[in-house]
Amino acid sequence: MDEQREVYLSREGSLANARVRDFGLVVDEPVEKGGTNRGPRPTESLLVALSSCYTATFIRIAEKRRQHIERIECTARGQISREEKRVVKAELSLVVYSSMNDEELSIINRLAEKSCTVKNSLNTEVVTNVVRA
């Protein structure tokens, strides 16, 4: 069954206040770009959405495969083309705190790449790098 998500956003200049369910989010630009630096930029918010979705998907798949993960740390980097006005490449670097072997880690990563809703929603190359700590 399809699901629907809804976000309400109000913007004054560079500052945007969003409501998501019972949560408030602020999106802004840094001062040098005309903003007030009260929150992350929209592209940074996109990277937060991508990395949080990917790591949640990764953990869910690991649990289904009866693999324990203590914690995942993720650094997300986005390459932005000024000419194309879009993120042309995103890279996720994951450090997975787990005792699972490298083969199982690779299998879970491949499954997560296919299952991450935000990644599947992007029209850009998303590269994932995973290491076990």
pLDDT digits (tens, 9 = 90+) for 50-82: 999 999 999 999 999 999 999 999 999 999 999
Model-level pTM greater than 0.85? yes
Q: Write the burial class of residue 25 (CB in 10 Å: 0-12 exposed, 13-18 middle, 19+ buried).
A: middle
34 within 8 A of 60, measured Cβ to Cβ: no
pLDDT at residue 123 greater than cutoff 90: no
42-132 is a CATH 2.60.40.1260 domain: no
40 CB contacts (<8 Å, ≥6 apart)?
A: 27, 28, 48
Structural element, H or E, at residue 114:
helix 102-115
Please report the pLDDT score of residue 2 as a whole number.
87
